[in-house]
């Protein structure tokens, strides 16, 4: 039986449909239902138009050296670091490896472990698990196959059994193995055989529990056909053993480049967004540099062209493979306004690889920026749930921000016009927006509206209706 199109039927009854109702029928499919989630301006998903303003990527600021891999079982090719928060401490896992002047391995590769209470000072506990040089007084947590790129995470899946509270993917001869642990220290294989076999795998391959979508997601190294470019592939799983929906990452109209590692994870303050720090390989000089990319579905990414941490950043990161970003995005105790990330330096040089901390402003990957001439952003139609609108912004001395709430057609809603908004200036991660009649926007919850932001010498990073 042939299916009938809905549009001819609507046309027949057009005289019975009020014009405003017809507009609502069309626009309903284009309205973004953001609820009360935090939205970052890392892409143009919610942007209808910009005038006198632009999206601006921000680079993290270099801080102190967090760790030096100078133990005899570590060395100058230690790499593929993984960081994550775990209740009252932070955990770090990494490859212990050392090459001589001829770039030959001095000892077997190991997976090493460190922990910290503040994310600044890191300790290497003596675990007593594996022997090196006749002693088990070391921080080796895994030895043998898979030590090259062992990448764990703490599983937040409420259905995960206690013995698999921590999980990891690690490379074997023919693919990726799945591992589990009850304490993050003692590990064992899950299931039998490799869980993912289609890929290259010789860099950091990772996975995590995506609570927003109720599934595991993995990212690993791949080579594209037929040009054999370094690339990143992804898949999803319900049980961490059977993986499906394999797909190569796409980047819109960004040029093809050599990309590997990925450092992708859901952003904890807005878990519907994925944030990644892939490595761009510069083959002429064998150098690497990290980039920023974000996604809303885990496959299609917005990728920024300029390096996030240039090889000129301090220090010793302009050599062969000396500028990888690590996997992990941390908010340290007592530092609510900044995010910590880590990157390596001094690869192939010195007594050991160094790991340096870098800091972003909280939510501060990308902003809508306007100079002293002023500018504005108008969002696409949205529906929200909540009572108070808050923004993450920073303005210069003479800068400021105002907000207007419009109806779907772009007309200011009485009481929420730009002229009614109290001027906001300064620097705040969560600034409550107020108008002449107060800050309560709950009367507009569930309606289709637009937000208009007026900026002068200011950066707008995110907003949320709480």
Q: What is the pLDDT of residue 104?
A: 95
- CB atoms closer than 10 angstroms to residue 280: 20
Q: What are phi and psi of 420, to 5 degrees?
A: -85, -15
Q: Is residue 246 part of a domain?
A: yes
Q: What is the CATH number of the domain that holds 393?
A: 2.60.120.260
Q: Are strands 382-384 and 32-35 parallel, antiparallel or unpaired?
A: parallel
- Mean predicted confidence (pLDDT) in 350-354: 91
Q: What are phi and psi of 369, to 5 degrees?
A: -115, 135
Beta bridge partners of 74: none
- Mean predicted confidence (pLDDT) in 298-315: 96
**Pair (98, 208) in one structural domain:** yes
**Pair (447, 301) in one structural domain:** no
Proportion of the chain above pLDDT 70, given as a percent: 94
Q: Does the pLDDT of residue 4 top 80, yes or no?
A: no
What CA–CA distance (Å, rounded) separates 27 from 407? 12
The answer to whether 76 touches 105, Cβ cutoff 8 Å, is no
The answer to whether 131 touches 108, Cβ cutoff 8 Å, is no
The answer to whether 463 touches 455, Cβ cutoff 8 Å, is no
Q: Is residue 6 part of a domain?
A: no
Q: Does the pLDDT of residue 457 top 90, yes or no?
A: yes
Q: Does the pLDDT of residue 10 top 70, yes or no?
A: no
**Pair (145, 106) in one structural domain:** yes
Q: Is residue 237 part of a domain?
A: yes
Q: What are phi and psi of 21, to 5 degrees?
A: -65, -35
CA-CA distances (angstroms) from residue 448 to 40, 43, 407? 20, 21, 7
Q: What is the mean pLDDT of the chain?
A: 93
Torsion over CA: 125, 126, 127, 131 (sign): positive
Nearest to 363 by CA among 343, 387, 391, 399: 391
Q: What is the pLDDT of residue 20?
A: 37
**Pair (157, 297) in one structural domain:** yes
Q: Does the pLDDT of residue 21 top 90, yes or no?
A: no
Q: CA 402: distance to chain centroid?
A: 29
**Pair (264, 323) in one structural domain:** yes
3-state SS, residue 8: helix
What CA–CA distance (Å, rounded) separates 301 from 250? 6
pLDDT in tens, 105-133: 999 999 999 999 999 999 999 999 999 99
Q: What is the pLDDT of residue 227?
A: 74
Q: Does the pLDDT of residue 146 top 50, yes or no?
A: yes
Q: What is the pLDDT of residue 226?
A: 75
- CB atoms closer than 10 angstroms to residue 402: 20
Q: Does the pLDDT of residue 446 top 70, yes or no?
A: yes
Q: What is the pLDDT of residue 29?
A: 57
Q: Which domain holds residue 377?
A: 29-57+366-465
Domain end residue (candidates: 361, 385, 419): 361
Task: Label residues 254-276 b or e (16+ Cβ within 10 Å = b).
Answer: eeebbbbbbbbbbbebbebbbbb
Domain end residue (candidates: 316, 345, 361): 361
Q: Is residue 18 part of a domain?
A: no
Nearest to 116 by CA among 138, 84, 94: 84
> What tokens appear for 279 in the block?
């490595």
Q: What is the pLDDT of residue 64?
A: 98
The answer to whether 170 touches 220, Cβ cutoff 8 Å, is no
* DSSP secondary structure string for all residues of 34-63: EET--EE-SSSTTEEEEES-EEEE-PPEEE
What's the domain count of the chain?
2
* Burial classification of residue 144, based on how many CB atoms lie within 10 Å of its CB (0-12 exposed, 13-18 middle, 19 or more buried): exposed
**Pair (429, 338) in one structural domain:** no
What CA–CA distance (Å, rounded) separates 276 from 308? 11
Q: What is the pLDDT of residue 314?
A: 92
Q: Does the pLDDT of residue 379 top 90, yes or no?
A: yes
- Mean predicted confidence (pLDDT) in 318-336: 96
- Mean predicted confidence (pLDDT) in 245-260: 96
Domain end residue (candidates: 318, 342, 361): 361
Q: Is residue 21 part of a domain?
A: no
Task: With cut-offs at 50, 70 and 90, classify the pLDDT of residue 369.
Answer: very high
**Pair (250, 396) in one structural domain:** no
Q: Is residue 8 part of a domain?
A: no
Cross-sheet strand order for the sheet of 151-154: 151-154, 166-171, 176-181, 187-189
**Pair (276, 342) in one structural domain:** yes
CA-CA distances (angstroms) from residue 219 to 67, 236, 461? 26, 9, 27
DSSP 278: P
pLDDT in tens, 163-181: 999 999 999 889 999 999 9
Q: Does the pLDDT of residue 26 top 50, yes or no?
A: no
**Pair (393, 447) in one structural domain:** yes
**Pair (337, 313) in one structural domain:** yes
Q: What is the pLDDT of residue 326?
A: 98
> What tokens appear for 330 in the block?
């941390």
**Pair (408, 259) in one structural domain:** no
Q: What is the CATH number of the domain that holds 324?
A: 2.115.10.20
Q: What are phi and psi of 190, to 5 degrees?
A: -100, 135
Q: Is residue 217 part of a domain?
A: yes
**Pair (127, 160) in one structural domain:** yes
Q: Is residue 9 part of a domain?
A: no
- Mean predicted confidence (pLDDT) in 85-107: 96
Nearest to 272 by CA among 302, 247, 290, 297: 297
CA-CA distances (angstroms) from residue 273 to 89, 251, 270, 276, 440? 25, 15, 6, 10, 27
Q: What is the pLDDT of residue 27?
A: 47
CA-CA distances (angstroms) from residue 149 to 18, 171, 290, 434? 62, 7, 18, 50
């Amino acid at each position: 039986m042939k299916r009938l199109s809905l549009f001819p039927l609507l046309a027949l009854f057009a005289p019975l449909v009020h014009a405003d109702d017809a507009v609502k029928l069309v626009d309903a499919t284009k309205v973004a239902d953001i609820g009360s989630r935090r939205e970052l301006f890392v892409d143009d998903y919610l942007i209808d138009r910009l005038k006198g303003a632009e999206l601006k990527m921000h680079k993290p600021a270099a801080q102190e050296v967090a760790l030096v891999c100078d133990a005899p079982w570590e060395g100058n090719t230690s790499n593929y670091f993984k960081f994550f928060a775990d209740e009252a401490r932070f955990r770090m896992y990494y490859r212990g490896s050392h090459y001589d002047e001829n770039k030959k391995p001095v000892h077997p590769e190991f997976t090493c472990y460190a922990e910290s209470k503040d994310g600044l000072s890191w300790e290497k506990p003596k675990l007593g698990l594996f022997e090196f040089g006749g002693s088990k007084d070391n921080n080796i947590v895994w030895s043998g196959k898979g030590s090259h790129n062992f990448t764990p995470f703490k599983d937040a899946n409420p259905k995960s059994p206690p013995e698999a509270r921590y999980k990891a993917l690690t490379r074997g001869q023919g693919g990726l193995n799945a591992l589990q642990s009850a304490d993050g220290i003692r590990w064992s294989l899950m299931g039998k055989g490799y869980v993912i076999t289609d890929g290259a795998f010789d860099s950091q391959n990772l996975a995590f529990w995506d609570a927003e979508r109720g599934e595991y997601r993995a990212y690993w190294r791949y080579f594209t056909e037929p040009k054999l470019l370094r690339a990143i592939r992804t898949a999803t799983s319900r049980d961490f053993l059977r993986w499906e929906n394999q797909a190569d990452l796409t980047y819109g109209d960004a040029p093809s480049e050599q990309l590997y590692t990925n450092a992708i994870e859901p952003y904890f303050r807005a878990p519907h967004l994925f944030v990644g720090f892939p490595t761009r390989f510069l083959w002429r000089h064998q150098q690497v540099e990290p980039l920023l990319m974000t996604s809303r579905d885990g496959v299609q990414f917005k990728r920024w062209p300029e390096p996030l941490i240039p090889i000129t950043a301090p220090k010793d990161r302009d050599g062969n493979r000396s500028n990888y970003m690590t996997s992990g995005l941390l908010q340290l105790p007592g530092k609510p306004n900044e995010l910590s990330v880590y990157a390596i330096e001094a690869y192939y040089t010195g007594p050991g690889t160094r790991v340096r901390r870098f800091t972003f402003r909280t939510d501060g990957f990308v902003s809508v920026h306007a100079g002293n001439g002023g500018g504005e952003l108008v969002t696409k139609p949205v529906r929200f749930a909540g009572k108070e609108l808050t923004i993450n912004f920073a303005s210069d001395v003479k800068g400021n921000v105002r907000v207007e709430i419009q109806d779907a057609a772009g007309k200011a809603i009485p009481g929420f016009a730009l002229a009614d908004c109290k001027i906001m200036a300064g620097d705040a991660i969560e600034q409550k927006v107020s108008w002449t009649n107060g800050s309560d926007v709950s009367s507009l919850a569930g309606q289709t509206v637009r937000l208009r932001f007026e900026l002068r010498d200011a950066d707008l990073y995110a907003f949320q209706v709480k």
